[in-house]
Amino acid sequence: MSHRHTAPAPSSPAARAAAWAIPVAAALLIVLLTPGSGLDLAVYREGGLALLDPEADLYAPILGPVGDPGLPFTYPTFAALLFTPLTLVPLPVSLGVLTVLTAVLMHLVSRDLTGRLRAALPRWRVPAWVLTVVALLAMPGRETLTYGQINVVLMASVYLALASRRHPWAWFAVAVGVTAGIKLTPLALLLLPLMLGRFRTILLAGGAFLATQAIGFLAAPEPTWRFWTSVLRDPSRVGGIDYIDNASVRGMLARFTEHETLPWLLGVAVVIGLVAVLLRLNRHEDRVLLLGLSSTVPLLISPISWVHHFVWWPVIVYAVLALTWRVRALRIPAIVLAVLTVGALALTPKHLAGMFGPGWINPVIGAVAPAGLVVLLGLTLAASLTARRPGAAVAAR
């Protein structure tokens, strides 16, 4: 099924206005009440400044004064080119604009997702604006806002493209290609069209991605060449792999052992295999549901996936619950595990570790989100296989 379900609109103009105003106000309050907001946005801005300055080095060890922001630029030159307009206005202005844009895009996703949740889970009664506020207050959304990150912008671009009524796969291809031109990880979403046999979508996405890199090369040939030949191979620029807020499979393994490379590669194979089978088994389901399953791939297999990258969690939860809900025996385990996994993301492992203190508990806490997500995929696979057996329709009621 690929129907687009929309949430019922509030009954009055005042209610409709409040449904938009409350998430925007919540986002602005989060940023205003958090000291030091906008650190990553400052890095984006410094990247734009470095690209405009012939004497500057875009990929220097740090950009800007130490501590302000004092961080490296880790994205392709195409991203730096897109960030150059940030140099035209003060940082607080661009942070305010990005905050409002993040809230609006998150609410657009929540409105569409709420309709799908109502169709998949008959008892779902949470209005879209509540889902938006929860998504913004949970730590992936909150850190996206306070750091001035573009995670929601990228996620919403892909989501809304695939949820569109007309030419969804063409828009999806363009969205994936362009967002991957900014941050490379969206390329892993192409597992979705691959498993559905949509090879034109893959070619279009690849063309869009190559176009972004060609634009970056034309604008800055030397930095682009250096990004692809040396910068990309230096993971230390992004941060420590074993840092507790790295919620990828490799981050989880690195906190238990110094020799995580081989186990990580096996984990990558498991994740890709799990999701590939799920996509194939459920290829006739709602395409947004399939996107939710696919979004786990870049999050889990990337060497580094900070907690604020997990803004996909509402879409993932929709996909998992929509499929496991059809098998009565798997409903409670799926709900409990989803609550634990999202709870670990909502509070972040670093805050949980601070509550429980140092020692062996830290890597265990850091494993809750990635391991929980993998097990949720396993439960979803069990539900998909069960629902396909003869007589499963009775068990699914």
pLDDT higher at 212 or 365: 212
DSSP for 273-318?
Answer: HHHHHHHHHTTTS-HHHHHHHHTHHHHHHSS--BGGGGGGHHHHHH
Length of the chain in terms of residues written: 397
Phi and psi, residue 3, nearest 5°? -75, 150
| Other CB atoms within 10 Å distance of the CB of residue 69 | 21
User: Tens digit of pLDDT for each residue in 208-257?
Assistant: 999 999 999 999 999 999 999 988 887 677 778 888 889 999 999 998 88
Local structure of residue 3 (DSSP, 8 states) = P
More confident residue, 35 or 312: 312
Q: What is the pLDDT of residue 366?
A: 84
Q: What is the pLDDT of residues 124-148, one digit of tens each?
A: 888 999 999 999 999 999 999 999 9
Q: Residue 254 CB: number of other CB atoms within 10 A?
A: 24
pLDDT of amino acid 1:
46
Q: What is the pLDDT of residues 168-218, one digit of tens each?
A: 999 999 999 999 999 999 999 999 999 999 999 999 999 999 999 999 999
Task: Provide the percentage of residues in the chain whose pLDDT is more than 90.
Answer: 70
Burial 297-311 (b: 16+ CB within 10 A, else e): bbbbbbbbbbbbbbb
What tokens were used for 323?
């499929």
CA dist., res. 140 & res. 309, Å (int):
6
Q: How far is CA 182 from the centre of its chain?
A: 14
Mean pLDDT of 366-372: 91
Q: 63 pairs with which residues across the strands? A: 71
Q: What is the DSSP secondary-structure string of 52-79?
A: H-TTS-TTSSSBSSTTSS-B---S-HHH
- For 6-44, how does the pLDDT look when each residue is reduced to its tens digit (9 = 90+)? 555 556 888 888 889 999 999 999 999 998 889 899 999
